[in-house]
Structure 1
Amino acid sequence: MSPASISSTHILLLSLTIIIIMIIPSSSQSNPLQILLKFKTNLSNSNTKIFTSWTEHNPVCNFTGIVCDRANNVKEINLSEQRLVGTVDFGLTCSLKSLQKVSLGSNLLHGTISSNLSHCTSLKHLGLENNSFTGQFPWKSLVKLTSLTHLSLGDNPFDISPFPLEILNLRMLQTLYLTNCSIEGTIPEDIRKLESLQRLELSDNFLVGEIPTGITKLVNLQVLELYDNRLSGIFPTGFGNLPMLSKLDVSNNSLEGDLSELRSLRSITSLQLFENNFSGEIPVEFGEFRLLQQFSIYNNRFTGELPEKIGSWADFEYIDVSENFLTGKIPPDMCKNGKIYDILMLQNNFTGGLPENYANCSSLERLRVSNNSLSGRIPVGIWSLPRLKLIDLAMNQFEGPVTGNIGEAKSLAQLFVSNNRLSGELPEEISNVSSLVEMELMYNQFSGGIPVRIGELKSLNSLHLEGNLFSGGIPQSIGSCVSLNDINLAGNSLSGDIPASLGSLRGLNSLNVSDNKLSGVIPASLSSLKLSLIDLSNNMLVGRVPESLLAEAYDGSFAGNPGLCADNGKSLRQCSSVSHRSSGLGVAKYCFIAGAFMLVFSVACFVLVKSRAKDCDNLTNRGFSWDMKQFHVISFDEGEILGSLIPRNLIGKGGSGNVYKVELGCGKKLAVKHMWRSGLDSGDPRSYSSSATILPKKKCRWPEYDAEVATLSSIRHVNVVKLYCSITNDDSNLLVYEYMPNGSLWDRLHTYKKAEMDWNVRYKIAMGAAKGLEYLHHGCDRPVIHRDVKSSNILLDEEMKPKIADFGLAKIMQTNKVTNSSHVIAGTYGYIAPEYGYTFNVTEKSDIYSFGVVLMELVTRRKPVEPEFGENKDIVRWVHDEMRNKEDMIGLVDPNISDESKRDASKVLTIAIRCTMQFPAQRPSMKTVVQMLEHIEPRSPIDIVIGDIVKD
């Protein structure tokens, strides 16, 4: 070959190489395999099982979640609800030119969405709902996506924006889901242009103004959801001309007027109008809605009677007409097809009795007709309905007994029949209702004794029998109701002693047995309780009031008991005082007897102490062993801890144990929790000998201890309290934590230890606590549900930084389900989410509700429950009601917060309101809560000054 030809060949090869180099990057960008593998790389922290088929050696059409067309082009990406974590590059994804569907909803995706979305010109279905995408959504990128039939962007914390007019060009759109994505302003009249719409969901935004008339032109509309906005005005004329509308939800707005425009919605299956300002009568045509299954209009101003036939045609599921001014009788046939599970009609003016038909309604789960003018006897079958969880008949004029068949009500958790004219004895069979959690029978005419087997109600949390005619003694078995935290037996004719077994109810919070005929001494066992309320007044009690009870009492707690005395009681006579009017002989006799008794008692104590000391020496000689498990690097041993657990170091008592402050030789401070002993005199510091050995009694396990260790041992987060180690033996369980010198948030807000906290401090507490909960819900391998979030479980370090504490009730989630469930209500009154009223399923949304209560405390400095909120109200109801009645929330803010910070504080109150929505699905995730709080971070003084300079 000639040199010339060789040179030509080299030139040709070089040219081909350059062309190949230029082509390769371009082809790789359009190569479905490389695109999807890059897509997978961006989601590296996700559930790896989903991507096991996503390999270089597998055809892309065999990838899990990928659908191809006949030409093997990628047509669909279906990966919703797969716990995907990471970001999405739409510039990369949209290079799949045949892509028609992207479904990534209900994951943990984050980041912003770029305008490269406009390259997905073949896209028909875009589902990104229920993630954590932030920033401004690129609405203009939708202009080119004219083939879209399904657009779902809701439940993402986007930046606030007006209603995106670009959507009005998507004429083929059938589904539009923009719920909870920060849209403000009005719904445009030109919404009428989307003539193909079947589902329009714009709920949980900041929309104002009236419902536009344009919506009445969407004749294909089947679902319209506009709930949780600020809409006003009436239903527009012609609204009834939506022949296919089956689901309408405009709840929680400020809409008004009557319902005459809805009378021709014959296809309606679900009608949700609650929490508005509607008025007038319910159209009689509603009684002929033959497809109606769900009807909820509570908290309006409706008058008149309900149509007699309402709910009697289809498989009617529930009715809630509570908090209106309705009259007449309860419709009799709503359980005609045996499907209804909720009848909620409280706080109206209904008359007559409960229809006999409902005595056979085996599907019924909740019956609430309290606060009406109902009368007559309760149909006997009501008491024993198999699925009934809640019976609420309070504040009526019902008569007759609670019948013995109530023992067959195996699902009953809440029984509220107070303020009626019920009479007779409480049947012993009620002790068979093992699921019973709350029992409120007060202010009736019940007589006879309290059932002696009441102790079999292990799940009973609240017992209210006050204001009746009960007689006899308080059963000793009541001490076996291990879940009780609230007992009120006041205003009866009970006699005998106060049972010492009450002292074993370690969770008891409130005890009221006033205005009875109780006698004897106050049991010493009550001293171990941590009571927030005790009232033993107006009985015939005698003897010394235990000193620990005086600290929990108010001035009248022991009044009306002439035989009681106290050493330090303000309103009680001094036990040490002896009347000088007594005869000398009587006094001498008294002194002699007392002296002899004290001598015998002293000798006995001396012998006992010596015996105990000998026993301790023997235990020490036997090498009694301790098991210490370390979860962090520590520089102390169990001896240094145990030697400090003495009464003078006691700094607190909780529902699950005593807490001691321990200062090590090096100066480091620790907090040590000694878990309560079940069935023993829990937490008695005398259990500790001088050699720091706890006397063994009985080997057992404590669920709260196991839960706390299991939860905290693996957690590493700056806003979760640090567990250094656990120390155990056959008898004792100790947890060693970092010490938090500023106590709890509850202390700093509500007690004598309260501190003046400016808004910056409060905001940092809110943000830190939110991040701690976010970590528990989203940052652990398996989500952790705390179940007892409250201000007293948020501890503050020396810099007022918060840390979540007390995980005795925590549950670890497995495959989106709790490891176990319980019919015992977990948590603290005032913080408990409302879903506990009808279900005992525990989810992270219950924690979010409780955290919303904490935010309200921080902003208002009000306690979760205060008398001025009104009867049956807590801080959540109070804030929601005040919000509804006032245009400006600033009036709810703690006056001690500076004027320039009150606007920011009111924004946090808005977040709290979202956290405490009635239905769990309406509450944001903790990840979203953190993002919302980040958006309203207070500016520093320097930022304010710079901002003012720039403005000028």
Structure 2
Amino acid sequence: MLSQNSLSGSIPPEIGNCRLLEWLELDHNMLEGTVPKELANLRHLQKLFLFENRLTGEFPEDIWSIRYLRSVLIYSNGFTGKLPLKLAELKLLENITLFDNFFTGVIPPGLGVNSPLQQIDFTNNSFTGGIPPYICSRKRLRVLILGFNLLNGSIPSNVADCPGLERIILKNNDLTGPIPHFRNCARLGYMDFSHNSLSRDIPASLGKCINTTMINWSGNKLVGPIPPEIGNLVNLGVLNLSQNSLHGALPAQVSSCSKLYILDLSFNSLHGSALMTVSSLKLLAHLRLQENKFSGGLPDSLSQLVMLLELQLGGNILGGSIPSSLGKLIKLIALNLSSNGLVGDLPTPLGNLVELQSLDLSVNNLTGGLGALGTLHSLHALNLSYNRFSGPVPEYLLKFLNSTPSSFNGNSGLCVSCHDSDSSCKRSDVLKPCGGSGKKGIKRRFKVALIILGSLFIGAVAVLILCCILLQNRDSKTKSEETISNLLEGSSSKLNEIIEKTENFDDKYVIGTGAHGTVYKATLNSGEVFAIKKLAISARSSSYKSMIRELKTLGKVRHRNLIKLKEFWVRGDSGFILYDFMEHGSLYDVLHRIRTPSLDWSMRYNIALGTAHGLAYLHHDSVPAIIHRDIKPSNILLNKDMVPRIADFGIAKIMDQCSAAPQSTGVVGTTGYMAPELAFSTRNSIKTDVYSYGVVLLELITGKTAVDPSFPENMDIVGWVPHALNGTEQIGPVCDPALLDEVYSTVEMEEVRKVLRLALRCTALPDCSTV
């Protein structure tokens, strides 16, 4: 045994002369280079432990011919190459652990037929093809871990009929088909099939797995109800079925799973009064039910969940008011009740939630003051937007006027208390000063009177001018009306239903706002969910021009990573554009506001890649080319499968490559995402989008906003990242802590560095000109 001895250098080929050697343990050292092929001469070798070194290159194929091999543990190196078919011929092999390498090709189809395999761990390689169909033929397999590969096909029924199986992890592949029926799963304790493309129902036979403690089947395409047999899993601690297409009510039998401490059913289409059902789960620490169709209000029984740290209920139809009993959940760190049609005032006991770090009450009909929140001194994230709150903002919450002023949007009654010696009134354009009296009030009324008199005079002149314009431009008006009539392409009945379902576009259905319109969520009788943008327009307004430009642009493009226009209408002074509803909202929501679902590196990378594909289509495949001119996280929407789709072409401009580059007047885009040297340019260029894309990449890696309050004064993310890196490639100082914990000491670390280098190139214009 030579393990854990800080050995360095390469493995001496002379070891191959020890022909009677049975155990070779060189693990946990600093060995480098390739494995010498001479080790294949160790014909009596039973155990080969080379894990946790720095070995590279192709693993010698002849070693897999040593017939006495029982355990091959070579994980956490840099091995490449493929596994030979003859690996399946080993008759004594019990443990083969290869995770964290660079193996490719298919897993030998016969693996498991001849070997009494007990443990297989191939995590984090690049294996392709299917899972061997007879991998559990000898009925001795205990651990099967194949996550983070490129496997496809279905899960073999042989796996679900493996009586000794204790742990199975198949996450982050491209597996399809149904989850097989379980027959002999009494010992199965841990199942992770997350982030594949598995479909069909959850099998009722899952109820046979009575010793299972963890189930994660999130991020698939599962449909149908949750079977009541789930109640048989009395040892279950974690149940994650999020990001599927499940429907139906939460079965009452779930209350029998008394050991549950994580329940995540978010981003499905489940309905009913689930909160009464889960209130008996006294050990729950994390309850995530957001983005479903749960109803029935917030019951007082929720206060029984005294261990609760996280309560995510946003995006349902709960209705009712917030009960005072919620203030008993004093361990809560995160609370999300957004988009639920809640009414009434905030109960005073909410102030007892002193550990609360994240609070989202947005898009409801809540009223009254914010006094109950004034004691929440641990808050780091707050969203109270689009309610009917009124009165002064508590002193402690004023910090959010600097960090996230949008937290208070859509509350016209809110204000900031002002004092002669206090400049807080000047901190934000979102909230007005409170009160106003005395001389200042008299002066204000005098000014208002002057404005009214002046407006009357100007109005009279304007009427005369308007009459002249109408007489001179009757033909022009006729053409404008013809243009509008040509746009009435959507179904009037559908628009009428949308108006009904949004209660004539009530603020509680708002899911986004922008310079050119407000976006609402509409759920139709058919169950279809749409996003509809409403614009106030006239034939001469900039909103009208913006709408026509967006319609023309969207009508031309068809790409997986671009939002698809469904229908559009013009009615009176309003325009309406219908899109598919994006279940995960915008990248800004997921990255900076909600942070649910958690963005691992594979998600961030796929979002970056998909956005690049969308921009490449606009810039290079569209004829004429299209410049978006406002690329930012809030304009990158994420569907159910976290596929990014670029949205909001309201200020896009088509660049005719066959003529001189068009001129632009004025500045378009968003502060922090515009290259300083291009912001005031009169010529459009795809470099505008490339710079903005680079800023988005920086946000994906750092987790910070483009103009973050944590940056030094007058510095944005483009300036802060190089400043923090200080000429090194040590990404720790700039990397999102959650991401750094994930990729530290993994092969993904170099991938993060490459994306960071690309981001710095794109923001170092004019060096980077294409995506």
Shorter-chain TM-score: which interval?
Answer: 0.5 to 0.7
CA drift at 1:328: 1.5
- 1:426 is aligned to 2:270: no
Q: Distance in 2 between matches of 1:462 and 1:575?
A: 42
Partner residue, 2:728:
763
Partner residue, 2:761:
895
Report the secondary structure of 1:334's partner residue: helix
Any conservation in 1 of the 2:171–2:195 contact (CA below 8 Å)? yes
Q: How does 1:85-104 map to 2 (within 5 A)?
A: none
- 1:135 is aligned to 2:135: no
Report the secondary structure of 2:152's partner residue: strand
Q: Distance in 2 between matches of 1:752 and 1:277?
A: 35
Q: Distance in 1 between matches of 2:442 and 2:395?
A: 19
Report the secondary structure of 2:177's partner residue: strand
- 1:245 is aligned to 2:151: no
Compare CA radii of gyration and give the structure with the larger one: 1
CA drift at 1:254: 1.3
CA drift at 1:457: 2.0
Taking a change above 3 Å as real, the CA distance of residues 750 and 454 of structure 1, as seen in their structure-2 partners, is farther
Tell me the number of residue pairs that the alignment of Structure 1 and Structure 2 aligns: 501
- 1:272 is aligned to 2:237: no
Report the secondary structure of 2:168's partner residue: strand
- 1:506 is aligned to 2:372: no
Q: How does 1:539-550 map to 2 (within 5 A)?
A: 539-544=411-416
Q: Distance in 2 between matches of 1:350 and 1:752?
A: 40
Q: How does 1:53-132 map to 2 (within 5 A)?
A: 126-129=1-4
Query: Where do 5+ consecutive residues of structure 2 fail to align?
Result: 451-708, 766-771
Partner residue, 1:831:
737
Report the secondary structure of 2:224's partner residue: coil
Q: Distance in 2 between matches of 1:552 and 1:274?
A: 50
Report the secondary structure of 1:434's partner residue: coil
Q: How does 1:355-434 map to 2 (within 5 A)?
A: 355-383=227-255, 385-404=257-276, 406-434=278-306
Q: Deviations along 1:546-605, whole A, 9 cap, x unmatched? A: 77877986x6x44xxx77699xxxxxxx99971325689xxxxxxxxxxxxxxxxxxxxx
Equivalent of residue 446 in structure 2, options 570, 580, 584? 580
Q: Distance in 1 between matches of 2:379 and 2:409?
A: 18
Any conservation in 2 of the 1:350–1:374 contact (CA below 8 Å)? yes
Q: How does 1:727-806 map to 2 (within 5 A)?
A: 747=712, 751=716, 754=719, 757=722, 761-763=726-728
Q: Deviations along 1:596-640, whole A, 9 cap, x unmatched? A: xxxxxxxxxxxxxxxxxxxxxxxxxxxxxxxxxxxxxxxxxxxxx
Any conservation in 1 of the 2:240–2:264 contact (CA below 8 Å)? yes
Q: How does 1:28-43 map to 2 (within 5 A)?
A: none
Q: Distance in 2 between matches of 1:235 and 1:412?
A: 40
Give aligned-pair identity as a percent.
26
Q: Distance in 1 between matches of 2:71 and 2:321?
A: 59
Partner residue, 1:318:
190
Partner residue, 1:292:
165
Equivalent of residue 741 in structure 2, options 849, 862, 865? 849
CA drift at 1:892: 4.1
Any conservation in 2 of the 1:748–1:754 contact (CA below 8 Å)? no
* Coordinate RMSD, CA, aligned: 3.9
Any conservation in 2 of the 1:509–1:532 contact (CA below 8 Å)? no
Q: How does 1:441-590 map to 2 (within 5 A)?
A: 441-499=313-371, 501-527=372-398, 532-534=403-405, 535-544=407-416, 557-558=430-431, 578-581=444-447
Equivalent of residue 352 in structure 1, options 203, 224, 229? 224
Report the secondary structure of 1:239's partner residue: coil
Any conservation in 1 of the 2:229–2:253 contact (CA below 8 Å)? no
Q: Distance in 2 between matches of 1:519 and 1:227?
A: 57
Q: Aligned AA for 1:304?
A: G
Q: Deviations along 1:54-97, whole A, 9 cap, x unmatched? A: xxxxxxxxxxxxxxxxxxxxxxxxxxxxxxxxxxxxxxxxxxxx
Q: Distance in 2 between matches of 1:220 and 1:260?
A: 18
Taking a change above 3 Å as real, the CA distance of residues 487 and 194 of structure 1, as seen in their structure-2 partners, is same
Q: Distance in 2 between matches of 1:320 and 1:328?
A: 17
Q: Deviations along 1:232-271, whole A, 9 cap, x unmatched? A: 1112353343330121111211111122454553332221
- 1:301 is aligned to 2:301: no
Q: Distance in 1 between matches of 2:119 and 2:763?
A: 44
Q: Aligned AA for 1:392?
A: D
Structure with more relative contact order (C-alpha pairs < 8 Å, separation 6 or more): 2
Taking a change above 3 Å as real, the CA distance of residues 328 and 142 of structure 1, as seen in their structure-2 partners, is same
Taking a change above 3 Å as real, the CA distance of residues 552 and 255 of structure 1, as seen in their structure-2 partners, is farther
Q: Aligned AA for 1:523?
A: P
CA drift at 1:765: 6.9
Partner residue, 2:29:
156
Q: Distance in 1 between matches of 2:171 and 2:62?
A: 32
Q: Deviations along 1:490-541, whole A, 9 cap, x unmatched? A: 1111111112x42332221121111111122222342467973241121242
Q: Deviations along 1:354-410, whole A, 9 cap, x unmatched? A: 111112422111111112121111012325632212111112111111343534323
Equivalent of residue 64 in structure 2, options 179, 183, 192? 192
Taking a change above 3 Å as real, the CA distance of residues 480 and 762 of structure 1, as seen in their structure-2 partners, is farther
TM-score (normalised: structure 1):
0.48
CA drift at 1:422: 0.4
Taking a change above 3 Å as real, the CA distance of residues 475 and 148 of structure 1, as seen in their structure-2 partners, is farther
TM-score (normalised: structure 2):
0.58
Report the secondary structure of 1:579's partner residue: helix
Q: Distance in 2 between matches of 1:478 and 1:530?
A: 21
Q: Distance in 2 between matches of 1:180 and 1:428?
A: 52
CA drift at 1:476: 2.0
Any conservation in 1 of the 2:111–2:134 contact (CA below 8 Å)? yes
Query: Where do 5+ consecutive residues of structure 1 fail to align?
Result: 1-125, 567-573, 585-743, 770-789, 793-829, 834-847, 856-875, 900-952
Taking a change above 3 Å as real, the CA distance of residues 895 and 412 of structure 1, as seen in their structure-2 partners, is same
Report the secondary structure of 1:350's partner residue: strand
CA drift at 1:472: 1.3
- 1:438 is aligned to 2:304: no
Q: Aligned AA for 1:442?
A: G
Q: Aligned AA for 2:208?
A: K
Q: Aligned AA for 1:455?
A: G
Q: Distance in 2 between matches of 1:343 and 1:144?
A: 48
Taking a change above 3 Å as real, the CA distance of residues 538 and 764 of structure 1, as seen in their structure-2 partners, is closer
Q: Distance in 2 between matches of 1:764 and 1:880?
A: 14
- 1:213 is aligned to 2:85: yes
Any conservation in 2 of the 1:402–1:422 contact (CA below 8 Å)? yes
Report the secondary structure of 1:391's partner residue: strand
Q: Aligned AA for 1:524?
A: E
Taking a change above 3 Å as real, the CA distance of residues 576 and 288 of structure 1, as seen in their structure-2 partners, is farther
CA drift at 1:337: 4.8
Any conservation in 1 of the 2:76–2:98 contact (CA below 8 Å)? yes
CA drift at 1:544: 3.0
Q: Aligned AA for 1:513?
A: L
Any conservation in 1 of the 2:268–2:291 contact (CA below 8 Å)? yes
Q: Distance in 2 between matches of 1:190 and 1:417?
A: 53
Q: Distance in 1 between matches of 2:269 and 2:150?
A: 29
Q: Distance in 1 between matches of 2:329 and 2:113?
A: 55
Report the secondary structure of 1:895's partner residue: helix
Partner residue, 1:927:
none
